[in-house]
């Protein structure tokens, strides 16, 4: 299948209304779930090679509106991975120490080390989204952040980090249903944050900022994928596929050791 149609790998004008939230390719849920088992096997194998090679790394950035499916993606796509080589970094509101530094300081500190897959659950893009929507920073400060983000991602890419950025694209109606579910199911209450309702009221404002982010921070070394995410099974299938395709393209090899090692006998 061709995943390029979900990919933005250079700056260009993006309007989210042009991107479907409920696409499902030509797949059915059953078919996608069968394919997932195979993808997860490949993913585990590729991850082991990345870990063994210990030269490069993979950074996966997940961005979405509330209830957009970030946690679900991690659970369903990443659970089969070997925790030895994976770490998930959640980004919350900056704490006092973090806020006392430039906005990329805390991000840089948790960039993936060689051999690792690191998943950012939210990311430095929140430091563009929230200040813009809530008017917490001057326009020129925010404008500069777009540049700083591009430069930062280029630095990581030049140092052996493959970067994949996923925007999980859901409809406003889908968000309504998911937030309502969190209220209706006592085992999901803990996921509900009353603040989410205030952000939901700013739906269009967030759309505008996401469009600018997708338009201006897409690059060949740090592409954005706009993932139709109303259907969880299609979202999972797509993301797993892109991960496998990307890792396969890296041509990961078990490292060669000095010659002669195979003649050693252990006593």
Chain residues binding a second copy by CB under 8 A are 44, 52-54, 71, 74-75, 78-84, 86-88, 90, 119, 121, 176, 179-180, 183-184, 186-187, 189-192, 197, 200, 254-257, 261-262, 264-267
**CA of residue 242 relative to chain centroid, distance:** 11
Nearer to a second copy, 73 or 132 (CB): 73
Smallest distance from a second copy to CB 108, Å: 17
Dist CA 86 CA 59 (whole Å): 10
Smallest distance from a second copy to CB 221, Å: 25
Long-range contacts of 151-154 (CB under 8 A, 24+ apart): 152/104, 152/107, 152/108, 152/124, 153/217, 153/219, 153/221, 153/222, 154/219, 154/221, 154/222
Q: Residue 126, by phi and psi: left (phi above 0), alpha (psi -120 to 50) or beta?
A: alpha
14 secondary structure, DSSP code? -
Nearer to a second copy, 142 or 164 (CB): 164
Smallest distance from a second copy to CB 24, Å: 25
The rounded radius of gyration (Å) of the Cα atoms in the chain is 20
Nearer to a second copy, 37 or 264 (CB): 264
**CA of residue 72 relative to chain centroid, distance:** 12
Dist CA 144 CA 251 (whole Å): 36
Nearer to a second copy, 215 or 246 (CB): 246
Nearer to a second copy, 204 or 267 (CB): 267
Dist CA 195 CA 67 (whole Å): 12
Smallest distance from a second copy to CB 6, Å: 23
Smallest distance from a second copy to CB 176, Å: 5
Smallest distance from a second copy to CB 200, Å: 8
Q: Are 55 and 162 in contact, with CB atoms under 8 Å apart?
A: no
Nearer to a second copy, 52 or 250 (CB): 52
């Amino acid at each position: 299948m061709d995943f390029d149609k979900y990919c933005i790998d250079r700056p260009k004008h993006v309007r989210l209304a042009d991107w479907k939230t409920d696409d499902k390719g030509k797949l059915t849920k059953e078919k996608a779930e069968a394919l997932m088992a195979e993808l997860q096997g490949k993913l585990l194998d590729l991850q082991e090679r990345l870990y063994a090679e210990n030269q490069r790394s993979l950074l996966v950035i997940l961005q979405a509106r509330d209830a957009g499916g970030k946690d679900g993606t991690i659970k369903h796509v990443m659970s089969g991975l070997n925790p030895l080589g994976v770490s998930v970094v959640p980004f919350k509101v900056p704490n006092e120490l973090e806020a006392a530094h430039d906005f990329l300081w805390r991000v840089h500190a948790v960039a993936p080390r060689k051999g690792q897959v690191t998943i950012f659950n939210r990311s430095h893009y929140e430091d563009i989204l929230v200040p813009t929507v809530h008017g917490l920073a001057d326009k020129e400060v925010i404008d500069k952040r777009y540049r700083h983000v591009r430069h930062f991602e280029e630095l990581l890419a030049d140092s052996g980090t493959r970067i994949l950025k996923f925007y999980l694209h859901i409809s406003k109606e889908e968000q309504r249903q998911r937030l309502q579910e969190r209220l209706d199911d006592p085992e999901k209450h803990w996921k509900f944050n009353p603040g989410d309702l205030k952000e939901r009221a700013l739906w269009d404002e967030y759309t505008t900022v996401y469009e600018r982010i997708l338009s201006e921070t897409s690059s060949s070394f740090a592409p954005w994928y706009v993932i139709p995410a109303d259907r969880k099974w299609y979202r999972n299938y797509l993301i797993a596929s892109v991960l496998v395709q990307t890792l396969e393209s890296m041509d990961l090899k078990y490292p060669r050791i000095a010659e002669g090692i195979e003649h050693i006998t252990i006593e």
